[in-house]
Amino acid sequence: MGWLVWIGLLGAFLVALARLRASFFTWSLVVAGGLLVAGLTDLLAPLPGLVAWTVFLLVAIPLNVPALRRMLLSDPMLARTRAVLPPMSQTERDAIESGTVWWEAELFRGDPRWERLLRVAPPTLTSEEQAFLDGPVEELCKMLNDWEITHELNDLPPDVWDFIKRQRFFGMIIPQEFGGLGFSALAHSEVVMKLASRSVSAAVTVMVPNSLGPAELLLHYGTEEQKRHYLPRLAKGEEIPCFALTGPWAGSDAGSIPDRGVVCKQRFQGREVLGLRVTWEKRYITLGPVATVLGLAFKAYDPDRLVGDREDLGITCALIPTDTPGVHIGRRHYPTGAAFQNGPNSGQDVFIPMEWVIGGQQNLGRGWRMLVESLSAGRGISLPALGTGSGKLVARVTGAYARVRQQFKVPIGRFEGVEEALARIGGWAYLMDAARLLTAAAVDAGEKPAVTTAIVKYHLTEGMRRVVDDAMDVHGGRGICMGPANYLARVHQTVPISITVEGANILTRSMIIFGQGAMRCHPYLVREIQAATDPDPAAGAEAFDRALFAHMGFTVTNAARSLVYGLTRGRLAPAPVLGATAKYYQRLARMSAAFAFLADLTLLFLGGSLKRREKLSGRFADALSFMYLCSASLKRFQDNGQPEAELPLVEWACKYSLYQVQNALDEILRNFPARTLGQVLRLVVFPLGRRFRYPNDALGHAVASVLLAPSDVRDRLTSGIYCSEDPADPTGRVEYALRRLLEAEPVERRLRSAREVCPPHVAYDDWLDDLVKRRVVDAGEARALRESRRATRAAIDVDDFPPSRALEAAADVAA
């Protein structure tokens, strides 16, 4: 009994200290107090008591007495850190220092303050933005025929180009004072999402000028004159921009571009001016073949010291009119399945005056910083919107198709195998939209969350890949045979584009998310590194000791939190809400503590070499990402007013995410470089073993059911995409069939119970006429049955072509 009280008290203290984010000194006082009480109450026999005191004093005294700690711990660790700290290039330093940290830092640090998440205002559009979505965006969607775009024209039709320019789609991020639409990140995201549900080629065309490119760079770094000249013209579509960074020798390692500009003086428009002679070779540049203004990244050199005392100035960005002599544009690549303009461009010794450098001469060499600082908005908005648009389209149309398509006399969506795929589609569509909305809210609140945007870029494009693959399986041949009626195959073909651009996904997962997360979100790591690299060794040593001591308290606190929450299955963790989702907040808090503790110990153990351990880093990225996705789902549910009907979706999203976090941490421990240490850490991370399970079959069934019939929750899940019930429209045809099928279903049921079945040798229409004649059904019911049958046939039909055309189509696909 005494022991039980002792353990209870210990647990209570641990929880209290963990909640209070206690310092190492406080921890020491409490442990000393505990030992004292245990000794006085005879809970601890004299010998074990002596051992416990000895161990405690050996640890606590050196660590709490600064001089001793410096001598025994901080200074040796500082020396080791200085020796092993990998050299950091300026590009890496810029990447690490750029942007802000936000909600992901709360998850990273092990004790998420939920009020911070729930305080974020629910996403809302202004009336102007909503009117734009209901007006020009809806109209543009109606104009888009993706088969015509991708197969017949390999381009957007001229009237679509005109409409896009006229309605200022290219100026969404340009403020109204410069003639743009001045939209929020949310509105930008909604526009791209809706267009993506209609045509990926059109969505990319609109997305690129609004992402990282001339407009974004000019807004932040342009001179007043550059802004006044370009922004109104870009907003009205009088200039078509592109941004050229990638080349044959520099893809993911964009900082290594060999393209160069040499500072020189040359006669230009009748006078001698200071400028750069630029030589470059770029590829994969979106809108490049039709661009009128080329945003170009190159490395600037000043061998004659015309602008300062350095030769190597660094990456620089300039805006070059494409009609400048020596600029070569026009040739096109043919990216898989898409028809947006994309191609190489080059220039040899092209002279550009200094005022073409974005921001002018003072911005020579500041290009990389400009790029990484501006990257997060585009990366966190455009591609996630594109992925979510495709995900929502797939959820809506695959559910409808799975209901109208019957095999073995049963809608295929009712088969458990298909249901599994539908559940993944529905659950992922929910997760993706939740993360998209939360990230847009952060950007609109002025954040530039570098880690979050990498997370959503990676997971919302991977989510797109996953749901589109599932949708292809559910559609069978209907998804494979290409033609105007196929709404899926082009999306499927274009998935690798989203995976590759704006930070290829393998690199984003294995290097960026956790690598940048550790540097930006960890409360002490950067302070320790800064101290270790302080040019003043004495000041550095003192700062290092202070940071290390605080770091120790942080680690112990997270260990205690992880252990206690693990032992109580998260029940002692705080939950900011009541009701069905409260437990997911608690479980997430538990995983956050476990993550923080494990990440800390791994960083301590591996130091700078973690940079090369991409498999471990990738798993940490997964854990952090799924915590973010899970919290986004909880936030979305809360923002929507906790609707009962949405519960299966949020539960699926949370269970799935927690299961992924658990798997990632488990795999880290299983592959921990020091086996024994890995086993010890496992006791703290999973004291009761791995308890989270994949969403069960009943939950999967509930999620799949949402997709199979029209309802408010299905509409909410797929809100914001282009929806049609027009039987002449490729996706509208399937929705139309679903509605007609459901209208006819009661009559069909009645006929089945009356054992009225169409005989195999009788045509369906003749059988219906006979039923009317025999007054089994009335004329209206027969019409409903006939229309349902006709609409279903249209929904399951695929295109076929005359032999010559089919060959042409095959050649097109093969190309």
Ligand X SMILES: Cc1cc2nc3c(=O)[nH]c(=O)nc-3n(C[C@H](O)[C@H](O)[C@H](O)COP(=O)(O)OP(=O)(O)OC[C@H]3O[C@@H](n4cnc5c(N)ncnc54)[C@H](O)[C@@H]3O)c2cc1C
Cβ distance to ligand X smaller for residue 176 or 671:
671
Min dist CB 375 to ligand X, Å, is 11
Among 497, 547, 573, 684, binds ligand X (CB under 6 A): 497
Cβ distance to ligand X smaller for residue 186 or 291:
291
Cβ distance to ligand X smaller for residue 510 or 731:
510
Q: Which stretch binds ligand X (CB under 6 A): 240-248, 480-488, 593-601, 773-781?
A: 240-248
How many Å is the Cα radius of gyration of the chain? 31
**What backbone torsions phi and psi does residue 570 show, to the nearest 5 degrees?**
80, 0
Q: Which residue is nearest to ligand X (CB)?
A: 251
Q: What is the torsion angle, in degrees rounded to the nearest 10, for the CA atoms of residue 566, residue 567, residue 573 and residue 575?
A: 90
Q: Does 504 bind ligand X (CB under 6 A)?
A: yes
Min dist CB 730 to ligand X, Å, is 24
Cβ distance to ligand X smaller for residue 73 or 506:
506
Give dist(CA 190, CA 182) in Å, integer.
Answer: 14
Min dist CB 494 to ligand X, Å, is 9
Q: Which stretch binds ligand X (CB under 6 A): 75-83, 283-291, 452-460, 582-590?
A: 283-291
Cβ distance to ligand X smaller for residue 414 or 611:
611
Cβ distance to ligand X smaller for residue 430 or 514:
514
CA nearest 555: which of 607, 512, 516, 594?
A: 594
Give dist(CA 806, CA 815) in Å, integer.
Answer: 14
Min dist CB 210 to ligand X, Å, is 13
Q: Please list every residue from 2 through 21 that binds ligand X, using CB under 6 A.
A: none
Q: Does 243 bind ligand X (CB under 6 A)?
A: yes
3-state helix, strand, coil split of the chain in percent (to 5) is 65, 10, 25
Among 511, 531, 547, 601, binds ligand X (CB under 6 A): 511
**What backbone torsions phi and psi does residue 181 show, to the nearest 5 degrees?**
-85, -20
Cβ distance to ligand X smaller for residue 66 or 86:
86
Among 98, 189, 246, 374, binds ligand X (CB under 6 A): 246
Return the SS3 of 353.
strand
Cβ distance to ligand X smaller for residue 390 or 705:
390
Q: Which stretch binds ligand X (CB under 6 A): 246-254, 257-265, 317-325, 578-586?
A: 246-254
Among 251, 330, 353, 523, binds ligand X (CB under 6 A): 251
Min dist CB 518 to ligand X, Å, is 16
Q: How many helices (H) and strands (E) does the chain have?
A: 35, 9
Give dist(CA 381, CA 186) in Å, integer.
Answer: 8
Q: Please list every residue from 747 through 766 that binds ligand X, using CB under 6 A.
A: none
Q: Which stretch binds ligand X (CB under 6 A): 238-246, 309-317, 357-365, 440-448?
A: 238-246
Q: How far is CA 346 from the centre of its chain?
A: 32
Q: Does 291 bind ligand X (CB under 6 A)?
A: no
Q: Which stretch binds ligand X (CB under 6 A): 243-251, 647-655, 659-667, 776-784?
A: 243-251
Among 160, 203, 244, 634, binds ligand X (CB under 6 A): 244
Min dist CB 334 to ligand X, Å, is 10
* HEC letters along 468-525: HHHHHHHHCHHHHCCCCCCCCHHHHHHHHHHHHCCCCHHHHHHHHHHHHHHHHHCCCH
Q: Which stretch binds ligand X (CB under 6 A): 148-156, 227-235, 495-503, 727-735?
A: 495-503
Give dist(CA 194, CA 139) in Å, integer.
Answer: 11
Min dist CB 7 to ligand X, Å, is 46
> Is there a contact between 456 and 435 (Cβ–Cβ < 8 Å)?
yes
> Is there a contact between 458 and 501 (Cβ–Cβ < 8 Å)?
no
Among 501, 543, 629, 796, binds ligand X (CB under 6 A): 501
How many residues at the interface with ligand X, by CB under 6 A?
21
Min dist CB 606 to ligand X, Å, is 17
> Is there a contact between 324 and 313 (Cβ–Cβ < 8 Å)?
no
Q: How far apart are the first and last CA of the chain?
A: 77
Q: Which stretch binds ligand X (CB under 6 A): 241-249, 586-594, 736-744, 805-813?
A: 241-249
Site string for ligand X, 445-484 (x = CB under 6 A): ----------------------------------------
- Kindly report the CA angle at 245 between 343 and 459, in degrees rounded to 5? 90
Cβ distance to ligand X smaller for residue 114 or 340:
340
Among 207, 245, 262, 489, binds ligand X (CB under 6 A): 245
Q: Does 507 bind ligand X (CB under 6 A)?
A: yes
Min dist CB 72 to ligand X, Å, is 38
Q: How far is CA 289 from the centre of its chain?
A: 29
Q: Does 692 bind ligand X (CB under 6 A)?
A: no
Give dist(CA 285, CA 38) in Å, integer.
Answer: 71
- Print burial letters for 419-448: b (CB count within 10 Å at least 16), e (below 16): bebbbbbbbbbbbbbbbbbbbbbbbbeebb
Tokens coding 666: 């488990």
Min dist CB 471 to ligand X, Å, is 22
Q: Which stretch binds ligand X (CB under 6 A): 106-114, 244-252, 747-755, 796-804?
A: 244-252
Return the SS3 of 348.
strand
Strands 406-407 and 410-411, how do they pair? antiparallel
Min dist CB 504 to ligand X, Å, is 3
Helix residue ranges per DSSP H, 211-356: 214-221, 224-235
Min dist CB 335 to ligand X, Å, is 4
Q: Does 737 bind ligand X (CB under 6 A)?
A: no
* Residue 668, amino acid: I
Among 29, 32, 88, 506, binds ligand X (CB under 6 A): 506
Cβ distance to ligand X smaller for residue 384 or 427:
384
Give dist(CA 789, CA 413) in Å, integer.
Answer: 18
Site string for ligand X, 600-629 (x = CB under 6 A): --------------x---------------
Among 147, 169, 183, 284, binds ligand X (CB under 6 A): 284
Q: Does 252 bind ligand X (CB under 6 A)?
A: yes
Kindly list the catalytic residues.
502
Tokens coding 702: 């509930």
Cβ distance to ligand X smaller for residue 341 or 581:
341
- Kindly report the CA angle at 176 between 171 and 182, in degrees rounded to 5? 55
Give dist(CA 429, CA 9) in Å, integer.
Answer: 45
> Is there a contact between 591 and 627 (Cβ–Cβ < 8 Å)?
yes
Min dist CB 414 to ligand X, Å, is 39
Among 184, 510, 586, 592, binds ligand X (CB under 6 A): 510
* HEC letters along 123-168: CCCCHHHHHHHHHHHHHHHHHCCHHHHHHHHCCCCHHHHHHHHHCC
- Residues 6+ away with beta carbon under 8 Å from 446: none
Q: Please list every residue from 513 through 552 that binds ligand X, using CB under 6 A.
A: none
Cβ distance to ligand X smaller for residue 263 or 495:
495
Tokens coding 296: 């170009």
Tokens coding 72: 């025994």
Cβ distance to ligand X smaller for residue 285 or 771:
285
Q: Please list every residue from 339 through 368 that binds ligand X, using CB under 6 A.
A: 342
Sites of contact with ligand X (CB under 6 A): 242-246, 251-252, 284-286, 335, 342, 497, 500-501, 504, 506-507, 510-511, 614
